Structure 1
């Protein structure tokens, strides 16, 4: 039985600590490709529910009582050709909704073994340089600015 095509609507969740450490996970299907938590919406679930589900599936972190922030920001990008087979024929672009999730401190995570190989916590500036996705890097840099503004404001 084949899986239903993925929706071209996804979330990007930058998981971070109050002091600016960012959690990155390495893709199993592309070793060396590091990223924040991402995932496609299923059915008609609310995007915040997609974000919480993906965080739990990919890291084991239960975000129900944590500070999940919807940035009200969307990135539209071309889906990499090697991943287009996951979508309906003719779908070439995805709309990504940006969230952040603040944890009290960096912690160990439980990866979905089929999806990710490794995890690490890095200062936000190093994390932004390590991720492969331009929209992920931009979100991490924006997080750094948000944290600086909160500190000064």
Structure 2
């Protein structure tokens, strides 16, 4: 648990997360600009809320929290979200390491794809993201600050 200077303790982040590449069949990819690091663009990401939380549930929750898109509705069926079976283990950037338990230095990221029929505006979580952009997949990969995010986007043609 971390101790807040002026509040209750909050749990450490679980070092297992999802990366959700939101895209269209035309290979357009949604990127979000981080509020805590302007200029850093990424796909939807987020950690499990509990060690036993199913990865697909984590992906659905994070997509809803960060974009307002609700997977499992008539306009966005559950089948639109696919586990790509890709796993990345990476070192947690030092700037964010305080969010994890002491000694935790690496995260395991599970990659999902969410295919929307076409580009659409999303409702950003203002504490998390400043702007959104729909970009051609190769341009989106170039814009990502995270190498694992860029690599996931470059895998998009394999999953269409």
TM-score norm. by structure 1 comes to: 0.94
CA distance in 2, matches of 1:60, 1:68: 15
Residue 21 of structure 1, aligned match among 14, 17, 28:
28
CA distance in 1, matches of 2:29, 2:9: 35
Residue 112 of structure 2, aligned match among 80, 96, 99:
99
- What is residue 69 of structure 2 aligned with on the other side? 61
CA distance in 1, matches of 2:120, 2:159: 21
CA distance in 2, matches of 1:18, 1:62: 19
CA distance in 2, matches of 1:114, 1:83: 16
Residue 96 of structure 2, aligned match among 80, 83, 103:
83
In the alignment, is residue 9 of structure 1 matched against residue 45 of structure 2? Answer: no
TM-score norm. by structure 2 comes to: 0.90
Distance apart, 1:115 and its partner CA:
0.5
CA distance in 1, matches of 2:10, 2:156: 35
Distance apart, 1:37 and its partner CA:
0.2
- What is residue 150 of structure 1 aligned with on the other side? none
3-state SS, counterpart of residue 72 of structure 1: strand
- What is residue 49 of structure 2 aligned with on the other side? 42
Deviation by residue 1:33-56 (Cα, 9 ceiling, x = unmatched): 000000000112100000000000
Maintained 8 Å contact 2:84/2:159: no
Deviation by residue 1:95-138 (Cα, 9 ceiling, x = unmatched): 00000000010000000000000001001010000000000000
Maintained 8 Å contact 1:124/1:144: no
Runs of 5+ unmatched residues, structure 2: 1-7
Maintained 8 Å contact 1:27/1:33: yes
